[in-house]
Each structure stands twice: as C-alpha cells, then as structure tokens.
Amino acid sequence: MNKFSKTLPLLTAGLLTGSLLLSGCSTKSPEQASAPSAEQQDTTQAASLQINDPWAKAADKGMSAAFGTLRNTGQQPVELVKVTEEQHRSPVQLHEMTGSGTEMTMKEHQGPVEIKPGAEVELVPGGMHFMYMDLAKPLVASETSTLTLHFADGSSKAVDFPIRNYSGAKERYEDHAGMEDKHGNGEHGGH
Amino acid sequence: MAEQQPTVPSRRLVLGGSAAAALSGALVGFGAGRLDAPASAAAEPAQDPSDPADLSPYGAYQRGILEEPQTHGIFLGLDIQWPKAKDERRDRLRSLLRMLGEDAARLMSGDGVLADSEPEMASARGRLSITVGLSRDAAAQAKSTADLSMLEPLPEFSGDKLEPRFGQADLLVQFCGDDPTALAHALRAVRKNLTGLATVRFEQHGFTTPPGQAEHPHAFRNLFGQLDGIANPRTTAREGAVFGHGDEQSWLPGGTVLVLRRIRMDLERWDEVDRPGRDFALGRRQSDGSPLSGQHPDDPVDLSATTELGLPVIAGNAHVALAKPVQAAETMWRRGFSYTDGGESGLLFACFQRDARTAFVPVQRRLAASDAMNQWITHTGSGIYGILPGMSQEAQLGAALFAE
Ligand code: HEM
Ligand SMILES: [Cu+2]
C-alpha cells in the first residue's frame, strides 16, 4: 500500500472517507451547512480554516512535530490534502496515533483530512499532529516555522507556528511500509 | 500637601510624601514645563495609574510597575546564549522578546502558554504580572536609537559586598502575584520556554503583605519590623517619576529603569537594638511608621524640626533624612520585596525611575556614605535593567527596539 517516502507529499488527494475518524482528535458537533449562497461558494477552503494556538516542538535535527486546533469557520467542508515547509527543509506528514496509554505509536494518516463546517480537529501531543520527517535546519525555540497547508480546492494557507521547548511528544514511530526508521530510536527529534 | 486631596485645583503635579516636600523646597533640575499639569487635571481627579481595573497585559506600560506590589515577587535573571554569528543576534533578541511577550500575555490572561503541560494551573486572579527588562549590553544587540547611557552599569558604592551570582544579568523577568501557585506555574512555564536560549543566573523570591491585611495602604512591614513604603510617590507623581514626561522620557518612551539590589539584613544584631535606637536610625517610629517630626504616618518628614534643646528631631544620618529626595529628579518608586533564604533575611530592593543616574545613584551615594542603618545591612546583589515599554496586540514586546 502507501509506501512511506520522505519525498512524497503528505497526503494523496482523492478518496474522501466522509467524516474523520482518528484517535486523538476531536470532531466537535458539526453544524450542518444550509444551502450555500454565491458568496459562500466564493470562499476558499483556505479562508475557511482557522488555526488556533499553533506551535511546533523545538528540535536540533531529525523529526519533530507541530500542533494546534484546526477549525472550519466556513459553510462548506474543508479538506486538507498536504502540508509543506520551506524554511527548515523538512518533508511534513500528517500523523495519527494508534494504541493506548504508554503503548501508543504513530503512523501516517491516509487520505485527506476532512473538517466539517463548524467542526474542529485538534492536533495535540499524544494525538494527531503534523510531523517534520527530516529537519535540515534546527527548529529553534522562540522562532517560528511556516507551514503551508494545501486544500482540495487548490487553495493554500501559510501559517506561522511559534517554536517552543517541549519534552513530551516522544511517541514511537511505526512505519507501516516496513522501512527502516533512519532516525534511530524512532522518537520525535529534539533534546 | 496636596497629595491627599487630588481634587484641589493645582497646577502642580501631585507628588507623594517627601517628594512633595522636595518640590516645595529646592526645584533644582526640575524643568518648569513639567509643573504644568493638563488643564483638565484641575477639574477632574487624575486617574490613578497605580490602581488599574485589571492587569490587562496590554497598554502603554508593562504591568508590575505602577501597581501597588502584589504579595509575592520573583526576580528571574538570565544570561542570553547568543548565536555565534553576530548578525543573527538582533533577530534572536527580537524572537526571544516576542516569545516572552506572548507568554506574558497568555499567563496574565489566565491561560497556559503554548506547549504548556499544566495549563490548568494558570490563573490571572491574584493580579499576576510579568515584566521584562534588558541589560545595557543585551539591549545594544537591537542596534536601536534607545538611550543606552541610561542603562550604564551602576558605580561601586562603599560597603558593597556584591556577589556575581546576584549580579547583572542580560535579561530580567519580574513575576508578581497574590497567588503563589499561579506564580510558580508562570515562572516554570517561562523558564521552560527559555531553555536553550538563556541560562539562569538567579531566581530571587520575595514577599510583602497580602492585600487587605496591610496596616497602611501603601506600606508593608519589612523584616526589621519597619513600615516601608510610606513616602513613596503615588498616583501621577509615581507615573512621572517612573516614566518621565513629555520630552523627558526614559531610555525608551514608555519604558523605565529598574535598579535591583539584594540587601542582607542582620536580624540578630538588629535584635540587640532597642526601640529608641531603631527609631533614631530610621527617623521614623517602628510602632506606626510616623516620622519623629510628626504624629501620623503620613505626616511630612521635617528635617528642620528641632527639640527644645535645639537638636534636630530627625538625625542628619537617619535613613529617611539621607534618602529623602533633595530635588524632584531624585524621586524613585520603591517596589521591593522581603526575602528569607536559608537563615538569611533581607530586602530585594527594587526601584523604578526615569533615570537612575539622577535618582538611585545620588541617593545610594548618600546612604552608602553615612546611613545610620548601614551597620545592619549589606548589599550583596546589584543590577540595572531597561524595562521595555508596554505591548499591544499589534506591537510585540520590545517592538520599539526594532522599529526600522
Ligand atoms: C535593607 C535596606 C533598606 C531598608 C530596610 C529600608 C527601609 C526604609 C524605611 C522603613 C523607610 C521609611 C518608610 C518609607 O517612607 O518608605 C524608608 C524610606 C526610604 N528609603 Fe529605604 N530602606 C532600605 C534601603 C534603601 C535604599 C537602598 C534606598 C535607595 C538608594 C532607599 C531609599 C529610600 C527612600 C527614597 C525613602 C523615602 C525617604 C523619604 O522621602 O522620606 N532605601 N526606607
Ligand atoms: Cu509523528
């Protein structure tokens, strides 16, 4: 199936599996959209998506993660298909967690992430997150990392993620494709 | 003086305690322009900047300066780990201050910081304030037009026994609040965020008296048992002494200068001194803080008052006689905290002023030379910091340093 590759974009646009069913993320009571007006149809998915409290975990090299709350403020579903980062030159994936308690591992989420109108997806340590796969430059606390979120309608949005020290988010990385984890201990990078 | 009656029409700025007395006497160095209060001040009572409705993180000034001191105060001194490349240092300072400002804004709003593992501990109740300042050398990295001569290191004073561990840091963060748990959380959150960017030189904890439990609305009992803070400037006089006026601003408009001294107090030897000796050394009574020249704590310190024998009532080398400003530019706003630390007791003496060269420095020169209280106190730590102007949702903490 989907082979993990650092060079492939995070998510392949395409199959939509209806509502999001992912461990560690909460999808709050979506308010169903009424018939969209012409105005609303003009609104891009990028414009509808609001990100609250974004932040990324400081790391010298290797892997790290970014978090925040994605909220669809629009009347139409939003589909996040890919995330890119230029500054620190790392491929970025969307990860989800499997398992429970201290036995959790993370893996790449398959397919786009759909957020219904009024709904939220929380990216949190121990839950869903954006994953820097191989940092070419360190994520220095107090600085920011700009992630570009790409949506199914072709729109995109650059969001500054303030970088902070954090010693949690050390989940094990499980590579379903069976590739060797070249990052050694299979943990998020950092300190 | 007019201080207790702010509604009395007066073209003078209202000065507290002895600062007001200084005004009525010699006015050396006090620009005439500053005597002119806005016309409206005569009609309406001036808004008291020391008594804000809340400690909103935003405003012209940072919080934790003009407000009456909270019950607990912590001074965190850090040395910045600058990037090796000199051309990256300005950006590092800017991002570090942005982070500190964001942390302060969130914590003072009762929220956890980003990446907070214990956001439930955050609480803005208890007047939490976080106040940030820089040493001259740290501020110089911004290459701004700020007047860094105001931040030049303090001269040596006689009797100083300064220890480097309580000495000048690059970065000072003052945490104040009435709720020690929220305060501990704020301190930890900020320290954690600064890991890898700065190393801690000192973390000095102090305390005053909880609100509502003080005997005097503007003073607390220090560890000698004295009421400390009575003659401090109040309301608009405090604001003027701290931030300046019009074209006489501090090192940055909206900023001020903090002098922090760690002063050890020898309680064992103070125990040997009986009441008259204590009151003589201070020039005020330990009982209720009243000056020896008066009956009530808020009576003026009158250095010309004499006994029937013609001797001064307040000795010339009494602490208040020497500390009292001889000109308005010497006025400082003292906002210190007592400390106890492993059997040692003392005062984290903190004072804010527009320019320490005309306030703390001359006053401390007089005190160091002949203060009668010197036999029981020793200065062991010292630093001078440029406190940054306030921030807004649009302008980050320290924005003025980076204005192009
Ligand atoms: C452990 C050291 C110190 C103790 C225990 C102490 C205590 C006091 C007390 C009890 C008062 C009278 C009440 C009041 O008006 O606040 C006072 C006044 C004052 N002190 Fe200190 N003080 C200390 C150090 C200093 C230092 C280092 C300075 C500044 C260089 C200073 C400046 C002043 C000033 C300006 C006043 C008001 C004088 C007036 O206008 O009447 N004090 N201090
Ligand atoms: Cu991951």
> What is the pLDDT confidence band of residue B9, given thresholds at 50, 70 and 90?
very low
Q: Is residue A189 part of a domain?
A: no
d(CA A180, CA B191) in angstroms, rounded, equals 37
Q: Is residue A5 part of a domain?
A: no
Atom of ligand 1 minimally distant from the CA of B289: 13
| Mean pLDDT confidence for B288-298 | 97
Q: Locate B83 and state its tokens.
A: 């990037």
Nearest to A3 by CA among A178, A132, A188: A178
Total domains present in chain B: 1
Q: Is B355 exposed, middle or buried (0-12, 13-18, 19+ CB in 10 A)?
A: buried
DSSP at B272: T
User: Out of B170, B179, B228, B279, which one is annotated catalytic?
Assistant: B228
Q: List Cβ neighbours of A189 (8 Å cut-off, separation of 6 or more).
A: A59, A60, A61, A62, A63, A64, A132, A135, A183
DSSP at A136: S
Give the range among B32-46, B163-177, B301-315 with minimum mean pLDDT: B32-46
| Mean pLDDT confidence for B375-381 | 98
Q: Is residue B347 part of a domain?
A: yes
Ligand nearest to the CA of B381: 1
Average pLDDT taken over every residue of chain A: 76
Q: Is residue A51 part of a domain?
A: yes
Q: Is residue B190 part of a domain?
A: yes
pLDDT for the residue B48: 53
The phi, psi pair for B83, rounded to 5°, reads -60, 150
| Closest-CA distance of chain A to residue B193, Å | 5
d(CA B125, CA B393) in angstroms, rounded, equals 21
Q: Is residue A149 part of a domain?
A: yes
Put simply, whether the predicted model's pTM sits higher than 0.95 gets the answer: no
**Does residue A160 surpass a pLDDT of 90?**
yes
A67, A137, A164: best to mutate for the B interface, most B CBs within 10 A: A164
Alpha helices in chain A (DSSP H): 38-42, 45-48
Span B174-196, pLDDT tens digits: 999 999 999 999 999 999 999 99
Give distance in angstroms: CA of B323 to centre of ligand 1: 6
Q: What angle do CA A161, B187, B114 make, to 5 degrees?
A: 20
**Does residue B131 surpass a pLDDT of 70?**
yes
Give distance in angstroms: CA of B320 to centre of ligand 1: 6
pLDDT for the residue A102: 75
pLDDT for the residue A168: 81
Span B206-231, pLDDT tens digits: 999 998 888 999 999 999 999 999 99
Residue B338 amino acid letter? S
Q: Is residue B398 part of a domain?
A: no
Q: What angle do CA B381, B386, B391 make, to 5 degrees?
A: 130
pLDDT for the residue A18: 32
> What is the pLDDT confidence band of residue B265, given thresholds at 50, 70 and 90?
very high
Please tell me which of B1-5, B124-128, B280-284 the model is most confident about, judged by mean pLDDT: B280-284
Ligand nearest to the CA of A186: 2
Q: Is residue A167 part of a domain?
A: yes
**Does residue B296 surpass a pLDDT of 90?**
yes
What is the span of the domain harbouring residue A116? 21-26+44-183
| Mean pLDDT confidence for B238-257 | 97
DSSP B122-149: ---TTT-EEEEEE-HHHHHTT--SS-GG
Which residue has the CA at smallest separation from atom 23 of ligand 1? B349
Q: List Cβ neighbours of B323 (8 Å cut-off, separation of 6 or more).
A: B363, B366, B367, B371
Q: Is residue A3 part of a domain?
A: no
pLDDT for the residue B325: 97
**Does residue B163 surpass a pLDDT of 70?**
yes
Total domains present in chain A: 1
- Classify B227 as helix, strand or coil: strand
Q: Is residue B28 part of a domain?
A: no
Identify which has the larger pLDDT, A89 or A179: A89
Structural contact between residues A79 and A16, judged by C-beta atoms closer than 8 angstroms: yes
Structural contact between residues A138 and A60, judged by C-beta atoms closer than 8 angstroms: yes
Q: Is residue A32 part of a domain?
A: no
What is the span of the domain harbouring residue B258? 55-145+156-393
Query: Could you tell me how many CB contacts below 8 A there are between chain A and chain B?
Result: 41
Span B134-154, pLDDT tens digits: 999 999 999 999 999 999 999
Chain centroid to CA B15: how far?
Answer: 17
pLDDT for the residue B211: 81
> What is the pLDDT confidence band of residue A173, given thresholds at 50, 70 and 90?
low
Nearest CA in chain A to B116: A166
> What is the pLDDT confidence band of residue B19, given thresholds at 50, 70 and 90?
very low
pLDDT for the residue B214: 84
Q: Is residue B137 part of a domain?
A: yes
Whichever domain contains A124, its CATH number is: 2.60.40.1890
Q: Is residue A10 part of a domain?
A: no
**Does residue B49 surpass a pLDDT of 70?**
no
DSSP B279-303: HHHHSB-TTT--BTT-SSTTS---T
Q: Is residue B293 part of a domain?
A: yes
Span B328-356, pLDDT tens digits: 999 999 999 999 999 999 999 999 999 99
